[in-house]
């Protein structure tokens, strides 16, 4: 009598992975178990294998959830000569630029009254074409004192066609889309 078992009827459980992200879509961690709370989506083992074999850093990507979830390369603010290109969504940045349909609000998150910048010092923000940084669409000039309460500029900013440039005077800059 033979002691063989037919293993074709045995099915191993599927391994599930969970991609956790914050409210801005920044990827926090990838786990093979569910946590009690937090934002997450379930991803396949193939996704995890493909991502690990690619050698890419998971934290360099964000999660975009619209019609279907997808992982995209995170935009990062960048220095271009003497100007600083502001691209990232960061609610915790020192300097926030809030954009809605018809206005842009510029504000310092934690205004420092003892800043080494004089009250009449002017900050310049340049709205330029995304594909041609030499094509200037608007210049916004704001005194340092006016930033204390926040400064509003009337402008219909097109996030798909325009970007903001400035000189870097604060530790971090972030965009907030309302």
Does one domain contain both 68 and 147?
no
Does one domain contain both 134 and 49?
no
- 4 occurs within a structural domain: no
Domain that holds residue 91: 78-177
Final residue of a structural domain among 73, 100, 127:
73
Cα–Cα dist 87/165, whole Å? 9
DSSP 7: G
Q: Residue 160 — pLDDT band, cuts 50, 70, 90?
A: confident
- 109 occurs within a structural domain: yes
Q: Report the domain count for the chain.
A: 2
35-60: b (≥16 Cβ within 10 Å) or e: eeeeebeebeeeebeebeeeeeeeee
Closest CA to 38 of 17, 59, 60, 23: 23
Which CATH number characterizes residue 121's domain?
2.60.40
Does one domain contain both 69 and 95?
no
Does one domain contain both 65 and 112?
no
- Other beta carbons less than 10 A from residue 24's beta carbon: 14
Note the pLDDT of residue 111: 65
Helices (H), the chain: 45-54
At 75, give phi and psi (nearest 5°).
-75, 145
88-111: b (≥16 Cβ within 10 Å) or e: bbbeebebbbbbeeeebebbbeee
Does one domain contain both 64 and 113?
no
Q: Which range is most confident: 19-23, 71-75, 113-117, 148-152?
A: 148-152
Does one domain contain both 22 and 63?
yes
- 114 occurs within a structural domain: yes
Does one domain contain both 65 and 96?
no
∠ CA 135-137-139, rounded to 5°:
115
pLDDT of 91 strictly over 60? yes
């Amino acid at each position: 009598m033979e002691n063989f078992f037919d293993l074709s009827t045995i099915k191993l459980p599927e391994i599930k992975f969970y991609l956790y992200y914050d409210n801005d879509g920044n990827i926090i961690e990838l786990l093979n178990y569910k946590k009690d709370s937090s934002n997450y989506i379930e991803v396949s083992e193939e996704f995890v294998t493909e991502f690990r074999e690619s050698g890419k850093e998971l934290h360099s990507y964000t999660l975009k959830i619209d019609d279907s979830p997808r992982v995209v390369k995170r935009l990062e603010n960048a220095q271009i000569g003497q100007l600083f290109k502001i691209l990232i969504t960061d609610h915790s940045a020192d300097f926030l630029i809030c954009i809605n349909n018809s206005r842009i609000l510029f504000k310092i998150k934690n205004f420092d009254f003892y800043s080494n910048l004089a009250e009449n010092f002017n900050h310049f923000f340049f709205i330029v074409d995304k594909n041609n940084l030499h094509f200037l669409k608007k210049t916004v000039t704001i005194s340092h004192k006016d930033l204390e309460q926040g400064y509003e500029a009337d402008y219909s900013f097109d996030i798909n066609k325009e970007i903001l440039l400035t000189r870097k005077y604060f530790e971090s800059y972030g965009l907030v889309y309302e």
